[in-house]
A = this chain, B = another copy of it.
Amino acid sequence: MVQESIRILHTQGYKATEPRKLVLEVLEEIEKPLSPYDIQEVLRAKGKYLNHVTIYRILDLLCSLNLAHKMLSGGGFVKCSLDPVEGCHRFMVCQDCGAIQEFADEGLCQRENEFARNHGFHTEHHLSEFSGLCSRCHK
């Protein structure tokens, strides 16, 4: 929900500006990884204009608040749909339609932490990304 992201911006002392709302709306609507220039393009098609610098800065902010996430595949940005969690971001990406779905799995976190510990590594953050076919594209 965009509304929820706006609330978080406020509680963190950031303004809920028009450009920020627009970027959040685009990410929420498209549900696919979008580059800063992709976002600019989508907005242009809606008759809106944002300078690319602004979009970069907004994405930086959203990522720092865990409200958005930069994907490995292609480097596009997506809106996080779960409660913002520092240091654990997991997504499934459909290689057919590009749709993304965020997920969380405490068991995975535990297993990963344990695995790392066994190798002398102390884990702070987890990222994972699956690619495959979403239910709609999988026949």
CA distance A125 to B75 in the complex (A): 17
Q: What is the chain B residue whose CB lies nearest that of A128?
A: B128
Interface residues on A, range: 20 to 34
Which of A35-43, A44-52, A111-119 lines the interface with chain B? A111-119
List A59-115 residues whose CB lies under 8 Å from chain B. Answer: 70, 72, 75, 92, 94-95, 101, 103, 105, 107-108, 111-112, 115
- Chain copies in the assembled complex: 2
Given contact pairs A108-B112, A123-B132, A124-B130, enumerate 18 new A-B contacts (beta carbons under 8 Å): A70-B72, A75-B75, A92-B119, A92-B121, A92-B123, A94-B121, A101-B119, A105-B115, A107-B111, A108-B108, A111-B111, A116-B132, A119-B135, A120-B134, A121-B135, A125-B130, A126-B128, A126-B130
